[in-house]
Structure 1
Amino acid sequence: MPVAHLTQTDIRRAGLALAAGSAAVAVLAGCTSGPAEKKPVATTSASPSASADPQAAVKAEVAAVYRSYWDAQVKAFAKADVRDTGLEKYAFDSAYADALADVAGMKVRGDVMTGAPVLTPQVTAINLDQEPKKASITDCLDVTNWKVVDATTGAERPLPAERLKRSVTNFEARTVGGKWMITSAEPQDRSC
C-alpha cells in the first residue's frame, strides 16, 4: 500500500492499523456502611465529543480494523510474504490485491522492509444506512523509520530524496459479511 509520494511506482516500491481502542466509561459506585456514612462516588466520563458522537463505537471498531490491517502489512513486508500475517482478515478488494502485488514485487526484487510506519488516522465518515456499510479514514502516514532493505545484506535501498516521508492517504473500508475490512488506499500528493 502507499507509503511515499512521487510516482505510482515509487509509492508502491516504498510499501505500505489507530490502534484506536475504545475509551471505556467506568462508573465506580461506593458502598455505604451505614446511614450516617457516605462514600464518594468516583466517575470518569467520556469526552464531550465522544459522548455526543452516536457513531463513536463504530468509528473505534473501524479504527481497530485499520490498525490490524497495518500490523498485518508490516509483517508481510518484513518477510516479503503474506502467509501467516492475517492480512486476508483485514484487507479486501483493491487493498488486498495491491498488498499482494506489492509483496510479490518486493520478493522478486529481493527486498523486505524494516521498522514500521507511524499512523495518525481519523475515521472521517461513516455510512450505516446502506449495505455494505462504509467508512472513510484519513491518515498522515509517517514512513520515516520504515525502510526498504535488501533481504540478503540488510543494506538500505535508496529511494528518491524528494519523496514525501509524511503524507496524507485516504482509505476506504466497508463491511464484508458483517465485518469491517479496508478496501482501498488513495495517496494524496501532499505532505502532512
Structure 2
Amino acid sequence: MRYRQITKGTATAAGLLVVAVLLGACTQPEPTPSPTPSVSTATPTSTVSPTSSVDPTIAAAEAAILEAYQGYWSAKVAAWADPTKDPGPELLTYAVDTALTDVQASVLQFRQDGIAVTGRPVLAPRVSNVVPGEAGTAAIVDCVDASTWTPIFTATGESALAPGYSARVLTNSTAYFYDGRWTIRTSVVDRDKPC
C-alpha cells in the first residue's frame, strides 16, 4: 500500500508541475530593464564597412572595360606622340568605330601640320550603365587632365595649343563588347565643360 501512496503522490506532483509550466508559458515575461547609459571615453579603432552589393558579373565587366579604356588611351598617346608613323596594332585591339577613326584622323592631321603631342594625360575614369554579355555596352565619364600632355610643332618645339585651351576636360566614352573583348567605341571631349 505504501508503494501506491508514493506513486500517487508522485503523479500528483508531476501533474502540478505540468500545470505550473503551462500557466507560466501563458503569462508574459517581465520587461527587462533598459541598461543605464554609460559614457565611454574610448575611441573606436576601426569601423565596419558595408559589404559590396555589386554583382560579380558587373564587377568583372567594369574591370575589363577600364583595362580596355586604359589600353585605348595608351595606344592613342603613342600614336599622337609620333604621327609620322601609323598607329600600332594596340589601337585596333582597344578601339572600334568612331574611337578608332577619330584617332587615325588626328594622326593624319598632326602629320600634315607637323604636330606631335608630348607627355601623358592623367585619367580618372568612372564606368556606369554596364550591360554585360555578347552585346555588352557601358558608359565612361572621365575628367582628363592634359596639363602634362601638350601638342608642339615638331620643327620648332613651340607650343601648338589653341587659344583658350582648357587643360582639364570632360570626356564621354562608350564601351562595346566586340569580337570577344571590351573595346572603346566612342570618345568625345566636351570642351564646354571643363572639370
Q: Per the alignment, do residues 117 and 180 of structure 1 end up closer, same or farther by CA in structure 2, a change over 3 Å counting?
A: same
Q: C-alpha deviations, 1:71-91, integer Å up to 9, x for none?
A: 000000000133335111100
Larger RCO of the pair (alpha carbons < 8 Å, separation 6+): 1
Tell me the distance in 2 between the aligned counterparts of 1:92 and 1:117.
21
Match of 2:91 among 79, 87, 93: 87
Amino acid at match of 2:157: G
Query: TM-score if structure 2 supplies the norm length?
Result: 0.68
Q: Structure 2: where are the runs of 5+ without partners?
A: 1-48
Runs of 4+ deviating beyond 3 Å: none
Aligned residues: 143
Check whether the contact 2:173–2:185 (CA below 8 A) recurs between aligned residues. Answer: yes
- Give matches, 1:86-165, under 5 Å: 86-128=90-132, 131-160=134-163, 162-165=164-167
Amino acid at match of 1:143: A
1:185 to partner: Cα distance: 1.4
2:181 corresponding residue in structure 1: 179
Moved more, 131-140 or 78-87: 78-87
Amino acid at match of 1:111: I
User: Which protein has the larger Cα radius of gyration, Structure 1 or Structure 2?
Assistant: 2
1:163 to partner: Cα distance: 2.4
Amino acid at match of 1:177: D
1:98 to partner: Cα distance: 0.6
Tell me the distance in 2 between the aligned counterparts of 1:75 and 1:89.
14
Moved more, 51-60 or 100-109: 51-60
Two-structure CA RMSD over aligned residues (Å): 1.7
Check whether the contact 1:116–1:143 (CA below 8 A) recurs between aligned residues. Answer: yes
2:17 corresponding residue in structure 1: none
1:128 to partner: Cα distance: 2.0
SS of corresponding position for 2:117? strand
Tell me the distance in 2 between the aligned counterparts of 1:61 and 1:48.
24
Query: TM-score if structure 1 supplies the norm length?
Result: 0.69
Q: Structure 1: where are the runs of 5+ without partners?
A: 1-46
